[in-house]
Structure 1
Amino acid sequence: MKAPKVLTGLEQCVADDFRAFQGRRVGLLANPASVDHRYRHLIDLAKDAGLEIVRVFGPEHGLGGTAQDLEAVADVEKNHPRWGVPVISLYGADESSLTPKPEHLADLNVLLVDLPDIGTRFYTFAATMIRTMRVAAGKGLKVVVLDRPNPLGGVRTEGPGVSDGFRSFVGEIDLPIRHGLTLAEIASKVKAIEKLDVDLAPIPCEGWSRQMLFPETGLPWLLPSPNMPTFDTALVYPGGCLIEGTNLSEGRGTTRPFEIIGAPWLSEVKLADSLNSSGLRGFYARPLTFKPTFQKHEGKICAGVQIHVTDPTVFQPVRVYSAAIIAARAQNPEKFRWRTEVYEFRTDPIAIDLLFGSSRERKLIESGATWHDLADFWTDDQGPDTVEFN
């Protein structure tokens, strides 16, 4: 099998037979996409190298990646049926489950973190890593982040950050929605900003340049979560996930989540025309109808659009999907509403405010603003080196 252009942190550990971690009590934070370019999973590779794996931690969706969004995952307190190790869920039935218990880290010497991220602030794996780092602080535990490329590249940023009072599991730190950082870079910034006494040892990628989009890395795409089936999904996700904060379907229950959006009470042609005449570039909104098989509008025929990215180098997903929300609300203001149900264990602030990172964008939309008005408040496309958060 041809070697990829980019070597992940995991690939480098495999090449070295995990030598630095031999004789240590090891924990792993991983999910189904924690594999090398030969599709071999981190747990198998670590066990084959003779590491003593004490326990494994699973993020949202679980170690097996079978749980849908917002679905609690139980611990496997004894032995996992495939790997024979205990598995601790870091996405359970209440907010406290999002943070590991100190006793689950106390008997470890090393924690290896290998979570394929998708470069978007509200994708929750970074929040899981950050919360774990905070618990590990002062414990003498070495936290090793096996880095992976940001699939969206490391140059462009887009969208608002997180204001005081709006921190949550989809806004753990103040980052733009599309942040241009890798998971190891986020970890290093968090350690510095929060002055965490944690023994952080990132293993950066070799061969990755910030201009690369995921297909250029030569690495295989594996679903990091159930509704992230392709790189195309990741391209639209920084905007597509905003639809979760509304009563529009974000395409869950279809084979193209986040690319497809709509509702039973919309005109697909009007929505497509509005987006295609918005002045935004790098995409085409194709009118379509669809029937979600689960979640919002399950079993109902919805009218909407599929966002086809035609040029990812100029596509601005946060603007495009903000424009879609504005257009849908204008088309049927009587039936459009913001999501008020529990979202990531919170009801106040509501979901759209947590996703945007403040109530500003929602209030602007309610006042009749355009996507231009929203974007005027965003400092983006400055590159990740200029990203500041606290």
Structure 2
Amino acid sequence: MVQFGIDRLLLYASDWKAKRIGFVTNNAAITATFEPARKALIKKGFNIVRLFSPEHGLDTTGPDGHLMGDVTDTLTGLPVVSLYGEKLAPEKKDFEDLDVILIDLPDIGSRFYTYLWTLTHVLEAGALYGKELIVLDRPNPISGNLLLAEGPVLDEVNASSFIGRWAIPVRHSCTIGELAQYFNIERKIGCALQVITCTGWRRSMFHPDWSVSFIPASPAINTFETALLYPCLCFLEATNISEGRGTAVPFRVAGAPWINAGELADLLNDNIGKAVVAREVDFVPEGGRYAGISCKGVMLHVTDRYHFSAVKTGLLLIKLIMDTYKESFEWAPYKTFVNGKGENHLRLLLGQEDAEDFFRLSLEDFKERLEGYVSVENWREMVGPYLMYED
């Protein structure tokens, strides 16, 4: 049985539970029995006095990239300071009356998912204001298998943003607790940090190996399959192709009014390997790109998650669409609260200054170079000292 960091903490007779605690969390942070983490802690006598929420807000329902304001938690009555609103990092006034900062955020294993970067701002604030931080760890739902990690590793000089601040791969294969320790030491943050680990989890495990029920981490990450395909199809945000937002299957479909679904499905199945199958579909998004318009395209079905190369598949999908529909394909801006004009979105997602240049290669050269482009051979060596779980 897998126990999360929150489950283990609830078993402790913690000597700091009566201190004034700030809790960085949201509704997707639950116990193994599906109780909201903040409610379970308060029932056990933990003196939580203030909550902090990441993108999508405490209730995880805020639209992608939309500013979230401070609110009052309807479950506990506690004040909630938004860390995706007027500020991305806690200020001195937010921390000065607190003794301990507790963090429980459900990362989904992809660099451009912003909960991880909220964690880094909290780490820096903890060091700056002299507060102890305790991270309640959670398993990586798309596994901790370092052989499945995929880049490119982010170029901090030319492509740092809130969807990728620091140099890690797109699919990092770590837990949020492992990355907290990695960043704290390697970036010399110097925060007083403790990680309460999970038990029963091995790096080879995926979410279905420990739970039959997936808690939506945000509006568009509503199933395990979506989380698995997120580092594959999120790159479509930088194009004029729908990634399925506004449908029941976000990040599981790709389409546009000008695509021939059968043709694209055949193209993909001839090129993307045996771990995933493309099925032709027709869908009408209720919101987002092409809202109310029939889109033709494909739905991806991962048939072997233990060998599925998400990033490689996603980049090849874009290249095949780009070359097949030259007159219709376009790169597109993607506006969010942290990127008001939506500019350079592909560069920020890929973390590479030359992102569009890579797609200008011939298909033959693109396929030949793709393996090396996403390779992260030294990542395990870099993060190795901070790994806390067995393979």
TM-score of the two chains, using structure 2 as the length reference: 0.92
2:25 pairs with 1:30: yes
The CA distance in 2 between the partners of 1:277 and 1:220, in whole Å, is 33
**CA 1:343–1:80 in structure 2 vs 1: closer, same or farther (change >3 Å)?**
closer
Tell me the amino acid that sits aligned with residue 125 of structure 1.
Y
Q: C-alpha distance in 2, partners of 1:220/1:190?
A: 31
Match of 2:387 in 1: none
The reply to whether residue 158 of structure 1 matches residue 150 of structure 2 is yes
Whether the aligned pair in 2 keeps the contact of 1:180 and 1:384 (CA below 8 Å) is no
Which residue does 1:299 correspond to in 2? 292
Runs (5+) with no aligned partner, structure 1: none
Instruction: Tell me if 1:283 matches 2:279.
Output: no
Q: How does 1:60-79 map to 2 (within 5 A)?
A: 60-76=55-71, 79=72
Map of 1:374 onto structure 2: 370
Match of 1:7 among 3, 11, 29: 3
Q: Distance in 2 between matches of 1:336 and 1:33?
A: 36
* Inter-partner Cα distance in structure 1 for 2:281 and 2:88: 38
Alpha-carbon offset, residue 367 of structure 1: 3.4
Q: Secondary structure at the match of 1:11?
A: helix
CA deviation string 1:352-383 (max 9, x = no partner):
11000013332110233424423322323666
Q: How does 1:310-329 map to 2 (within 5 A)?
A: 310-329=303-322
Number of residue pairs the alignment of both structures matches: 378
Q: Which secondary structure does the structure 2 equivalent of 1:137 belong to?
A: helix
Contact 1:175 1:387 in 2 (8 A): no
Give the structure 1 partner of residue 122 of structure 2: 132
Alignment RMSD (CA, Å): 1.8
Where do residues 208-287 of structure 1 align in structure 2 (5 Å cutoff)? 208-218=201-211, 220-287=213-280
- Single out whichever of 295-304 and 314-323 deviates more from structure 2: 314-323
Task: Summarize the alignment of residues 178-197 of structure 1 with structure 2, pairs less than 5 Å apart.
Answer: 178-197=171-190
CA distance in 2 between partners of 1:51 and 1:387 (Å): 33
Structure 1 residue aligned with 2:37? 42
User: Where does residue 103 of structure 2 map in the other structure?
Assistant: 113
Change (3 A) 1:221 1:348: closer
Cα offset, 1:216, TM superposition: 1.2
Counterpart CA distance in 1 for 2:224 and 2:377 is 21
Q: State the one-letter code of the partner of 1:128.
A: T
| Alignment CA distance shift 1:280-1:360 (3 Å) | farther
Q: Aligned partners of 1:111, 1:26: CA distance in 2, in Å?
A: 6
By how many angstroms is 1:16 displaced?
2.1
Matched, 1:104 2:94: yes
* CA drift at 1:324: 1.1
Indicate the SS of the match to 2:129.
coil
> Percent of aligned positions with the same letter in both sequences?
34
Confirm or deny that 1:353 pairs with 2:347: yes
CA drift of 1:263 comes to: 0.6
SS in 2 for 1:112: strand
Which stretch shows the higher mean deviation, 187-196 or 19-28? 19-28
Normalised to the residue count of structure 1, the TM-score between the two structures is: 0.92
- Aligned mates of 1:166, 1:344 — CA distance in 2: 17
Letter in 2 for 1:351: H
The residue identity in structure 2 corresponding to 1:203 is I
One-letter identity of the residue aligned with 2:178: E
1-side partners of 2:46 and 2:303: how far apart? 45
Shift in alpha-carbon separation, 1:343–1:335, aligned structure 2, 3 A: farther
* Structure 2 gap ranges (5+): 385-391
